[in-house]
Structure 1
Amino acid sequence: MFTSVNSRAASAYKRVAAETSVQGADPHTLVGLLYDALLQSITQARGAMSRGDIEAKGAALGKAVRITEEGLKAGLNLQQGGDLAANLQQLYSYCVMRLTQANLRNDTKALEEVTQLIEPLAQSWQQIKGRGPTPLQPLTGRGA
């Protein structure tokens, strides 16, 4: 029940490193971090499903839904993003629905579907760094 000092130290280091990378990141990098965290949460949920760990599965999928809703979807600028932002909003809503279904039904195929939808976006997002405006705008720029 107790964790080793090394384990606690490693966990604290990872937490600080993540907080530091988020605090110093530009909006483009933040979206990339959200995609990475979303895919990681889906992977954790898949592993929890295979182990039969209901609590871990629920936590991982809850995190994935929050990242999608509160991070990716909420960051869209529908006024300036046009059709691309509207399409991403619909895609994110669909992903949230599939993640919820995956949680309710222990459906690994739904997790795979969301992964197949998000991975190309994450890869494309990495490639467009520095190519001009995107359909996303910094949250601080919207009066948040």
Structure 2
Amino acid sequence: MMYGAKAYAQVGLETGINSASPHGLIVMLYDGAIEAIRKARIYLEMNDIEMKVKSIDKALRIVKDGLTASLDIEAGGALGEQLLALYDYIGKELVLANVQNNPERLDTCMNLLNDLRSAWLEIGSTATLEK
């Protein structure tokens, strides 16, 4: 039964990805990273080290392979460079949180990503209004 639920969720995710705008895909990346960090914090509190490591690894992959890879520094200029530095900082904080079992570092990463997500949503709503 659990397999069916997972398959259904996967289809929903794939449908969302296929129909999302580039702006929406970035929001999905933020959501995924935030959720992975939230889970890592729960696993840390439960002392489930294996699942904590897997969740932090997932968040790191989203930040590095998703958010960082999506940056166009040339087109983004100074803002793109600042985002790159911030993503690098978040990545380092996630590694330290993992090694040190430090929930405060996880909270810092989650708060930064939440702020970026909110700003990205605001940019999207402003762009929509200007059309």
Specify the TM-score bucket, using the shorter chain as the normaliser.
over 0.9
TM-score, scaled to structure 1: 0.85
Partner of 1:48: 43
Deviations 1:6-43 (A, max 9, x none): x2221111111001111121110000000000000000
Partner of 1:136: none
Number of residues of Structure 1 aligned to a counterpart in Structure 2: 127
Match of 1:79 in 2: 74
- Percentage identity across aligned positions? 35
Instruction: State how far apart, in whole Å, the 1-side matches of 2:111 and 2:31 are.
Output: 13
Distance apart, 1:127 and its partner CA: 1.8
Gaps spanning 5+ residues in structure 2: where? none
Per-residue CA distance 1:45-83 (angstroms, 9 max, x = gap): 001101111110011000000000010011100001011
Q: Which has more helix, going by share of residues?
A: 2
Task: Please state whether the residue corresponding to 1:52 is helix, strand or coil.
Answer: coil
Distance 1:57 1:117 in 2: 20
1:59-138 residue pairs with structure 2 within 5 A? 59-129=54-124, 131-132=126-127
Return the alpha-carbon distance in structure 1 between the equivalents of residues 89 and 17 of structure 2: 27
Q: Matches of residues 21-40 of structure 1 in structure 2 within 5 Å?
A: 21-40=16-35
What amino acid is the match of 2:36? S
- TM-superposed CA distance for 1:108, in Å, is 0.3
Structure 1 gaps of 5+ residues are: 133-144
